[in-house]
Structure 1
Amino acid sequence: MSRNLAQPHSASPAPSRSIVLVGMPGAGKSSIGRRLAARWGMPFRDADAEIEAAAGIPVSEIFARYGEAEFREGERRVIARLLGANEPIVLATGGGAFADPRTRQAVRDSGALSVWLKCRLSTLLRRVAGRDHRPMFVNADPREVLERLMAARHPAYSEADLTLSCTDEHPDVTTRRVAEALTHHSPPARMRVGLSRNPYDIVIGEGVLRRAGAEMAQRLEGRRVVVVSDQSVAPLHLPTLRESLADAGFTIAGEILVPPGEGSKSFAQFTRIVDAILDTKADRRLAVIALGGGVVGDLAGYAAASVLRGLPFVQCPTTLLAQVDSSVGGKTGINTQHGKNLVGAFHQPKLVLADTAVLRTLPLRELRAGWAEVAKHGLLEGPLWDWCEAEGPEAMRGNPQALAHAVLESCKLKSAVVMDDEFETKPEGGRALLNLGHTFGHALEAECGYGSMLLHGEAVGIGLGLAAELSARLGLCSQELPGRVREHLREVGLPVRISDLPRRFSIDRLIGRMRTDKKARDGALRFVLLRGPGDVFTAGDVTEETVRALLREEGCDP
């Protein structure tokens, strides 16, 4: 007997709820389960052994006498009884148990944590060799049996709370990895965007992308998808998405990659994506998945809104800016020579999957640019602004808890605003308030040509400072607020003034850009202004001369 079986291991605390191991025959559920139970000093139960004890006959004979349907019903009752005990247990299930939807629901209802021990076919073949006590392997080719079972059961297994890939390593090693994964596991945060016609969920947390297929399977009617990503994101995160989709029974009908950067939000790329989707013989059950930042989400979403007058759409945002802002709310679109997002549509996603773990792959400049939108939400909400000032530098150092909090709180704020004003029809307030800093920011972006000179978040950051300065000049807020806003943005590494940029700007051209902004009315300038953090409003009565004076002091040319 190994040492791990002989006595509990103190490396990680025992879980407070039952652990249910699921997976294919040969995955090692019983072997790993016994070791986990010994490690934590918890009771171990084997569902098949319990069923045989209750029936008084082997599983093979239950199948022979009563058939699979009767066996599954008895299996569900036994599992529910075991998980309903007063103390948490480690439970190893039979290969087909979790594939039964009623048993999956019984596991969820019990509050247990389900773990899929995922093995490759080659590993399973070696482990099931000679298993003639299982009815499915009697007089059958094990490879054919396993391939059939994997195709049928993997979509159900993918719904487990945690997935751990297992190899031919020693069971003690696998046990330790499972224990460590369980110790660090935290369920994703979920929130509902409760729109009257198209409600959807936002799922936020570490490792959410690995569960993408399971989450989509519960919300999409079809099982064919097209993935739109960019050439920088795809090598990093597309393999994880592919595997998750395959596990859940999805077929990827096409993968469309665009160049990274704002320049891809163009008619040319839009047309290319639409044609590629139509090339897949698309029907209205084909889903479009956006894997990338705000550019990919806006572009793919607009294509999804347009093809066949609307395809289901899933957002998998991979940048901080997209996770806190652009992936939520259903705004899609492209840029033109006249300005930003002037062509597009409202098209709500079916689901938003914000995996905060992928933020670790972001270049620091992109992370900082995303923070500008977090700061904007802070100024809109009030208390979140105080948190931003206190925790922003820590978040920019990559603190996962700070970043997760920023995403969660931003999504709460934005979803509430979207539910109140889905199509931005309120003349004052509503979704228009989300444009704080954007009138100035969009004008700067357009002048820079939507290239790498100025990222969207950087433009918004400068715009936030200008909006605060304009508010102070109009006597709406304290004279110290512009300095606070700019100091915070500078502290997290963002440019805060137009003069920080490596080029000169014309006041006439910037004013012209502002007049064609989609928020303008009859050519009149409109701004979101502040009385203070948490107290913002839209204004259409700011004189052009006031804006010109502000831009002159920023160093712009007449």
Structure 2
Amino acid sequence: MSRNLADPLISQPCLDEAPDGSPSPSHSVPPDRSIVLVGMPGAGKSAIGRRLAARLGLPFLDADTEIENAAGLTVAEIFTRYGEAHFRDGERRVIARIAAGPPVVLATGGGAYVDPRTRQALREAGALTLWLRADIPALKRRIAGRSNRPLFIGQDPDEVLHNLMAARARFYAEADLSLDCGEDTPEETTLRVEQAIAGWQPPARLPVALSANPYEVVVGSGLLPRAGGLLAPHLPSRRVAVVSDAAVAALHLPTLRAGLAEAGFEIRAEVTVPPGEGSKRLSVLEDVLERILAAGTDRGTTVIALGGGVVGDLAGFAAAVALRGLPFVQMPTTLLAQVDSSVGGKTGVNLRAGKNLAGAFHQPRIVLADTGTLSTLPLRELRAGWGEVAKHGLLQGPLWDWCEAHGPAAMQGDPAALRHAVLESCRLKAGVVVADEREEAPEGGRALLNLGHTFAHALEAECGYDGTLLHGEAVAVGLGLAAALSARLGHCSQEWPGRVMEHLSMVGLPARLRDLPRGFSAEALIGRMHKDKKVRDGALRFVLMRGAGAVFTTAEVPPAAVEALLRDEGAE
């Protein structure tokens, strides 16, 4: 499957220097989108913007100047005659018009980006927004002597700047990039801005176009530090409760806290649970609910799931039932959760009778899949996630060929390969979920996502969810068994079981029942399968395959064939 995994949007510039030490003209290809500078008065937006435009070979425009030209009045005169609301409305229309046109470098007024309609217009136009940050002392020095600024006339500059910073910073945090520029010269800042633009790779945004509750899956590296700005346009308020597990919280919760705080979010509750499948229990769910609600949660508070599939399922179920439904955000930090469980709205907990037998469909408002978190995963967890990637490859077809070619690189931590695996898995799953949101299609549809899972869930239940068998490991064994059963029943060629098992073994996953560290009873496994939620009228249902990209559901599987396969694979 041919695809450029890097997906560069902006080429790397030549960042050499002139003999006097100043940045020389850039030889990079101009960006294909407008660059919009936002920030406080005195941040240097116009000074940096002019220099940046010259280096990038783009026109430079100043929003205030464009407004004055259109109105035939200065900004101060517009404020005096018509008030700030009138000015902001005109400002928004001017900025939207510029952003919708050919690429430029645009410097905006300090209050422009505070208007939600302006932010939305810039997002819709595909502009790259960059927040120039500076502290109050630096801003105060830079605006000294500029008494014509309307908000500063007759006011104490220090007090005005503090008030503006407190009111505006959370909106600036929604910009695509931010850069500290307090003490640098304009030339130094311009060079750093250009480097930041050249190195910027926008996160991929995949729509899950449900008719009632559509949302986006955002995939990219470095999303947690920007979480507040990414979430703000999608949530009803800036109040959240975070649910995580102890291991993930130690690694990533401080980064998320900082990212939320920058955008003015209030964390009402932080709830951590023990890592592992054992936390997907009703008793743990009750504790999570009590702790969330004790923190003063209301209907406008969003529950954020920070962690793997267990946390996502548990927190999502809590969000579904707390106050009869709270907004919900998935922030998956494992490969398995990023490629599978975070997309689709399935939430739930396990019962003694089986896996995921209590739950609800509750779609997230947005999914933020920060692929940078995958570098912190233990190798066993990373490999377990690949079990779901391989499943998606078998469902989609060309993705299976890519898996065979790039699986080893992904398991060695190659960022481009992992990003591609997450993107394509989410793309596949989003399409399936849109076509069959609540798994109601009698044949095919969302049920196809259970390839290998009838076996996998039985194996997990027999292990008691004690951590000896991870979900992705169980799925890997289940894929091998599903391929073998398909071949035995004549649905696919005899090469497929070996091909599937060989790939799974190559990336370090257990591929056969005998690869697992304990034995299993065929009778016990079949008993578990009969309690699977996919059973209809007592008949087992399996997802089988004719080949990669050609899978189907069926209840016409002789029980004797399943038992014989399990015994041949080493079950007692």
Q: Give TM-score, length-normalised by structure 1.
A: 0.91
Alpha-carbon distance, 1:326 to partner: 0.5
Match of 2:423 in 1: 408
Of stretches 518-527 and 326-335 in structure 1, the one that deviates more from structure 2 is 518-527
DSSP-derived class of the 1:385 partner: helix
Q: Deviations over 1:273-315 (max 9, x none)?
A: 1001111222222211111111110000000111111111111
Match of 2:40 in 1: 24
Match of 1:521 in 2: 536
The counterpart of 2:319, out of the listed 294, 297, 304, is: 304
Distance 1:105 1:428, change over 3 A: closer
Q: State how far apart, in whole Å, the 1-side matches of 2:99 and 2:449 are.
A: 47
Match of 1:9 in 2: 26
Of stretches 27-36 and 468-477 in structure 1, the one that deviates more from structure 2 is 27-36
> What value does the CA root-mean-square deviation take over the aligned residues?
2.8
Identity %: 66
Of stretches 344-353 and 190-199 in structure 1, the one that deviates more from structure 2 is 190-199
Q: State how far apart, in whole Å, the 1-side matches of 2:271 and 2:329 are.
A: 15
DSSP-derived class of the 2:502 partner: helix
Task: Tell me if the contact between 2:268 and 2:296 (Cα under 8 Å) persists in the aligned partners.
Answer: no
Alpha-carbon distance, 1:108 to partner: 4.5
> After superposition, where does 1:413-428 map in structure 2 within 5 Å?
413-428=428-443
> After superposition, where does 1:133-282 map in structure 2 within 5 Å?
133-166=148-181, 168-282=183-297
Distance 1:83 1:525, change over 3 A: closer
The counterpart of 2:381, out of the listed 358, 366, 373, is: 366
DSSP-derived class of the 1:257 partner: strand
Distance 1:122 1:251, change over 3 A: farther
Match of 1:92 in 2: 107
Task: Tell me if the contact between 1:83 and 1:107 (Cα under 8 Å) persists in the aligned partners.
Answer: yes
Task: Tell me if the contact between 2:347 and 2:361 (Cα under 8 Å) persists in the aligned partners.
Answer: yes
Letter in 2 for 1:337: R
Distance 1:106 1:274, change over 3 A: closer
Q: State how far apart, in whole Å, the 2-side matches of 1:89 and 1:432 are.
A: 48
Q: Deviations over 1:134-167 (max 9, x none)?
A: 3333454445423432343234323323333445
Q: State how far apart, in whole Å, the 2-side matches of 1:113 and 1:335 are.
A: 44
Match of 2:527 in 1: 512
Task: Tell me if the contact between 1:4 and 1:39 (Cα under 8 Å) persists in the aligned partners.
Answer: no
Alpha-carbon distance, 1:485 to partner: 0.4
Task: Tell me if the contact between 2:522 and 2:563 (Cα under 8 Å) persists in the aligned partners.
Answer: yes
Task: Tell me if the contact between 1:155 and 1:249 (Cα under 8 Å) persists in the aligned partners.
Answer: yes
Alpha-carbon distance, 1:409 to partner: 1.9
Task: Tell me if the contact between 2:23 and 2:191 (Cα under 8 Å) persists in the aligned partners.
Answer: no
Letter in 1 for 2:263: A
Letter in 2 for 1:284: R
2:321 is equivalent to residue 317 of structure 1:
no
DSSP-derived class of the 2:247 partner: coil
Alpha-carbon distance, 1:106 to partner: 4.9
Task: Tell me if the contact between 2:26 and 2:55 (Cα under 8 Å) persists in the aligned partners.
Answer: yes
2:418 is equivalent to residue 395 of structure 1:
no
DSSP-derived class of the 1:114 partner: strand
Q: State how far apart, in whole Å, the 1-side matches of 2:26 and 2:233 are.
A: 38
Task: Tell me if the contact between 1:25 and 1:128 (Cα under 8 Å) persists in the aligned partners.
Answer: yes
The counterpart of 1:496, out of the listed 490, 503, 511, is: 511
Distance 1:420 1:104, change over 3 A: closer
Distance 1:117 1:240, change over 3 A: farther
Q: State how far apart, in whole Å, the 2-side matches of 1:49 and 1:159 are.
A: 24
Distance 1:77 1:369, change over 3 A: same
Q: State how far apart, in whole Å, the 2-side matches of 1:226 and 1:52 are.
A: 45
Match of 1:336 in 2: 351
Q: State how far apart, in whole Å, the 1-side matches of 2:372 and 2:52 are.
A: 27
Q: State how far apart, in whole Å, the 2-side matches of 1:280 and 1:69 are.
A: 37
Task: Tell me if the contact between 1:7 and 1:38 (Cα under 8 Å) persists in the aligned partners.
Answer: no
Distance 1:144 1:454, change over 3 A: farther
Q: State how far apart, in whole Å, the 1-side matches of 2:469 and 2:391 are.
A: 18
Alpha-carbon distance, 1:456 to partner: 0.7
Task: Tell me if the contact between 1:4 and 1:172 (Cα under 8 Å) persists in the aligned partners.
Answer: no
Distance 1:103 1:192, change over 3 A: closer
DSSP-derived class of the 1:197 partner: coil
Task: Tell me if the contact between 2:22 and 2:187 (Cα under 8 Å) persists in the aligned partners.
Answer: no
Q: State how far apart, in whole Å, the 2-side matches of 1:90 and 1:329 are.
A: 39
Alpha-carbon distance, 1:242 to partner: 2.6
Q: State how far apart, in whole Å, the 1-side matches of 2:47 and 2:20 are.
A: 14
Q: State how far apart, in whole Å, the 2-side matches of 1:352 and 1:83 are.
A: 27
Task: Tell me if the contact between 2:34 and 2:106 (Cα under 8 Å) persists in the aligned partners.
Answer: yes
Distance 1:196 1:58, change over 3 A: closer
Task: Tell me if the contact between 1:212 and 1:241 (Cα under 8 Å) persists in the aligned partners.
Answer: yes
The counterpart of 1:113, out of the listed 128, 133, 144, is: 128
Alpha-carbon distance, 1:516 to partner: 1.7
2:334 is equivalent to residue 350 of structure 1:
no
Q: Mark the runs of 5 or more structure 1 residues left unpaired by the alignment.
A: none
Match of 2:474 in 1: 459
Q: State how far apart, in whole Å, the 1-side matches of 2:436 and 2:231 are.
A: 26
DSSP-derived class of the 1:353 partner: strand
Alpha-carbon distance, 1:419 to partner: 2.1
Q: Deviations over 1:378-416 (max 9, x none)?
A: 111222212221222222232333222222222222122
2:60 is equivalent to residue 44 of structure 1:
yes
Aligned length, in residue pairs: 555
Q: State how far apart, in whole Å, the 2-side matches of 1:332 and 1:400 are.
A: 29
Q: Mark the runs of 5 or more structure 2 residues left unpaired by the alignment.
A: 1-17
Of stretches 542-551 and 333-342 in structure 1, the one that deviates more from structure 2 is 542-551
Distance 1:401 1:269, change over 3 A: same
Task: Tell me if the contact between 1:151 and 1:249 (Cα under 8 Å) persists in the aligned partners.
Answer: no
Q: State how far apart, in whole Å, the 1-side matches of 2:121 and 2:346 are.
A: 39
The counterpart of 2:455, out of the listed 440, 443, 450, is: 440
Distance 1:146 1:448, change over 3 A: farther
Task: Tell me if the contact between 2:480 and 2:500 (Cα under 8 Å) persists in the aligned partners.
Answer: yes
Of stretches 60-69 and 248-257 in structure 1, the one that deviates more from structure 2 is 60-69
Letter in 2 for 1:22: V
